[in-house]
């Protein structure tokens, strides 16, 4: 089949995916791939879910699209109601978009407009963290702290400053308790706000569990609470980016529930549409919406496909399946089994530095030296080799090289469907084990 579609890489051709069945994708040659990462933490219900398919057919028979400049729709309103009802305290409004970058972009612009509306017009700066990913559009890319992704676009990016991530494996000092480390890491935010001038800072954005750039690195207990306190002290909005870790991935609908923190805004996408439709959402505290409603009455932003009825119908079916089939407790149990299986297979491997995560969101960090935690030389392309070997063996996983304060490390991100069975956890770990051993030669 000719490959005229272009995506990320311009090298070689890709297999043609023709069918999805539960946790598997099947290509045109009939080869089956266990979807161990849900693509990029997207396919939380697996492929060809009967309830989502039925919901989409029914919605298509009713209404596919009505422009949000004229109408709202039943699926969009239902979705917003469900999200608000299960969101952390204070979230009252939902802005529906088509993906994660759009949600982050909207959050940044809404933060700026909020401060304009309430007369704090000097607030325009965003603080984020190194080794984070918030999307590829210019605002979201500017927020992200991944140097490799930012480098060639640097002249186009709004000014953002980056503090250290909360990365226990790399940054906790041997003599430090986990709690003390979390507070020290969070206090970098206060120092940065004071350095920039609090009256110029509008928002701090972070992923509660860092996905693409680090491989499922969770905030340590207490870290986000301290971040919340600091944001409150200086009137800075806290945006939690749950595009990857939200919508049940960690075993909670919102990852920040486990941290006991209520942000001012939350971005979600990926698992919200579970791959059945492109959809994202920005969830907003009532007071932010109210300030705009009482001011200009108009959020100066928007996209043609926002609030799309088909996309909202898919998300409603996904959320319905998550609650109706009790998938959140299942994510916690299957996640614990996945962690245990990874530890049993790879825990003693000389090149596996850390195995971590929450729920069915797990990461394996690969190092050259387990004692010193020194990463492999980037030029060796260890993560690319793991990806290729796993794919050859029929496993989709999500290996990346993350920038660790100037150094590069390799990790593998796992985010299998919530419906994964015990036997498939075994298959995933066996194939990953083989791919890692093949790539590092041990
Ligand atoms: N934010 C986070 C935390 C992500 O992981 C991603 C995508 O990986 C995005 C934002 C961007 O989402 P999208 O690719 O849907 O634009």
- Same domain flag for 304 and 344: no
ipTM rounded to 2 decimals: 0.99
For residue 245, the ligand 1 atom closest to its alpha carbon is 3
pLDDT tens, N- to C-terminus, the chain (442 residues): 666 777 767 777 899 999 999 999 999 999 999 999 999 999 999 999 999 999 999 999 999 999 999 999 999 999 999 999 999 999 999 999 999 999 999 999 999 999 999 999 999 999 999 989 999 999 999 999 988 889 999 999 999 999 999 999 999 999 999 999 999 999 999 999 999 999 999 999 999 999 998 899 999 999 999 999 999 999 999 999 999 999 999 999 999 999 999 999 999 999 999 999 999 999 999 999 999 999 999 999 999 999 999 999 999 999 999 999 999 999 999 999 999 999 999 999 999 999 999 999 999 999 999 999 999 988 899 999 999 999 999 999 998 986 655 556 899 999 999 999 999 999 999 999 999 999 998 7
| Domain co-membership, 214 together with 341 | no
Residue 374 DSSP one-character state = B
Same-domain pairing of 39 and 71? no
208-245 pLDDT, tens per residue? 999 998 899 999 999 999 999 999 999 999 999 999 99
Distance of alpha carbon 8 from alpha carbon 39, whole angstroms: 14
d(CA 156, CA 163): 21
Nearest-CA residue for ligand 1 atom 9 is 135
CA distance 396 to 299: 40
- Does residue 207 line the site of ligand 1, with CB under 6 A? yes
**Residue 169 covered by a domain:** yes
How far apart are alpha carbons 403 and 407 in whole angstroms? 6
Give residue for tokens 């290729």.
388
Decide whether any atom of ligand 1 lies within 6 Å of the 212 Cβ: yes
Are residue 58 and residue 43 in the same domain, yes or no?
A: no
Q: Whose CA is nearest to atom 5 of ligand 1?
A: 244
Tell me which residue range forms the domain holding 409. 17-48+326-440
Is the shortest distance between the CB of 213 and ligand 1 below 6 Å?
no
Residue-wise DSSP of 140-156: HHHH---HHHHGGGGGG
Whole-model pTM: value is: 0.97
Indicate if ligand 1 lies below 6 Å from the C-beta of 209. Answer: no
Which residue owns the Cα nearest ligand 1 atom 13?
100
Using CB atoms within 10 A of its CB, is residue 410 exposed (0-12), middle (13-18) or buried (19+)? buried
CATH number for the domain that contains residue 200: 3.40.640.10
Residues 64 and 106 in one domain: yes
**349 and 267 inside one domain:** no
Q: Are 227 and 358 members of one domain?
A: no
Confirm if 145 and 136 have CB atoms less than 8 A apart.
no
Span from the CA of 349 to the centroid of ligand 1 (angstroms): 31
To test the pocket of ligand 1, the residue of 98, 135, 143 to mutate (highest count of ligand atoms within 8 Å of its CB) is 135
CA of residue 77 to ligand 1 center, whole Å: 24
Q: Say if residue 343 is in the same domain as residue 285.
A: no
Among the three residues 281, 307, 324, which one is the final residue of a domain in this structure?
A: 324
- pLDDT tens across 362-407, in order? 999 999 999 999 999 888 999 999 999 999 999 999 989 866 555 5
Based on the fold, state whether residues 210 and 358 are members of the same structural domain.
Answer: no
- As a whole number of angstroms, the distance between CA 174 and CA 170 comes to 11
Question: Measuring from atom 7 of ligand 1, which residue has the nearest CA?
Answer: 135
The alpha carbon of 441 and the centre of ligand 1 are apart by a number of angstroms equal to: 32
Count of domains forming the chain: 2
Q: Is 8 within a domain? A: no
Q: Decide: residue 1, CB within 10 A, 0-12 exposed, 13-18 middle, 19+ buried.
A: exposed
Neighbours of 81 (CB within 10 A): 12
Q: State the DSSP code for 17.
A: E
Residue 11 within a domain:
no
- Asked whether residue 84 is domain-assigned, the answer is yes
Nearest atom in ligand 1 to the alpha carbon of residue 242 is 3
Structure-token pair, residue 222: 């207490």
Judge if 147 and 254 occupy the same domain.
yes
- Which atom from ligand 1 is nearest to the alpha carbon of 210? 3
Domain boundary among the residues 293, 324, 355 is at 324
Residues 344 and 261 in one domain: no
* Domain stops at, among 278, 296, 324: 324
Domain co-membership, 237 together with 126? yes
User: How far are the Cα atoms of 194, 272, 372, 384, 432 from residue 369, in angstroms, in the given order?
Assistant: 38, 38, 6, 19, 20
7 in a structural domain: no
Determine which residue's CA is closest to atom 1 belonging to ligand 1. 134
């Amino acid at each position: 089949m000719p490959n005229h579609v272009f995506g990320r890489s311009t090298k070689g051709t890709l297999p043609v995916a023709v069918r999805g069945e539960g946790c598997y994708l099947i290509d045109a040659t009939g080869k089956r791939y266990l979807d161990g990462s849900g693509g990029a933490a997207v396919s939380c219900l697996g492929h060809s879910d009967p309830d989502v398919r039925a919901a989409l057919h029914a919605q298509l028979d009713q209404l596919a699209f009505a422009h949000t400049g004229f109408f709202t729709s039943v699926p969009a309103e239902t979705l917003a109601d469900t999200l608000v009802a299960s969101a952390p305290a204070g979230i009252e409004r939902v802005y529906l978009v088509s993906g994660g970058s759009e949600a982050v972009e909207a959050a940044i612009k809404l933060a700026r407009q909020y401060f304009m509306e309430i007369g704090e017009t000097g607030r325009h700066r965003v603080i984020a963290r190194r080794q984070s990913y918030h999307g590829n559009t210019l605002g979201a890319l500017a927020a992200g702290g991944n140097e490799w992704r930012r480098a060639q676009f640097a002249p186009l990016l709004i000014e953002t400053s980056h503090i250290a991530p909360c990365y226990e494996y790399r940054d906790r000092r041997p003599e430090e308790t986990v709690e003390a480390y979390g507070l020290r890491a969070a206090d970098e935010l206060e120092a940065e706000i004071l350095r920039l001038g609090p009256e110029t800072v509008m928002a701090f954005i972070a992923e509660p569990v860092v996905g693409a750039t680090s491989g499922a690195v969770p905030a340590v207990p207490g870290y986000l609470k301290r971040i919340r306190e600091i944001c409150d002290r200086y009137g800075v909005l806290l945006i939690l980016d749950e595009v990857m870790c939200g919508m049940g991935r960690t075993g909670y609908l919102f990852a920040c529930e486990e941290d006991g923190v209520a942000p001012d805004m939350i971005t979600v996408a990926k698992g919200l549409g579970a791959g059945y439709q492109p959809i994202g959402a920005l969830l907003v505290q009532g007071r932010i919406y109210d300030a705009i409603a009482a001011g200009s009455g108009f959020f100066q932003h928007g996209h043609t496909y926002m609030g799309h009825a088909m996309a909202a119908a898919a998300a409603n079916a996904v959320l319905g399946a998550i609650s109706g089939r009790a998938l959140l407790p299942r994510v916690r149990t299957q996640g614990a089994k996945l962690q245990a299986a990874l530890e049993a297979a790879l825990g003693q491997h000389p090149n596996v530095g850390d195995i971590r995560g929450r729920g069915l969101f797990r990461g394996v960090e690969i190092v050259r030296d387990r004692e010193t935690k020194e990463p492999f030389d980037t030029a060796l392309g260890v993560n690319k080799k793991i990806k290729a070997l796993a794919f050859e063996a029929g496993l989709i996983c999500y290996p990346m090289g993350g920038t660790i304060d100037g150094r590069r490390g390799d990790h593998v991100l796992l985010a299998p469907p919530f419906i994964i069975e015990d036997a498939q956890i075994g298959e995933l770990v066996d194939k990953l084990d083989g791919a890692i051993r093949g790539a590092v030669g041990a």
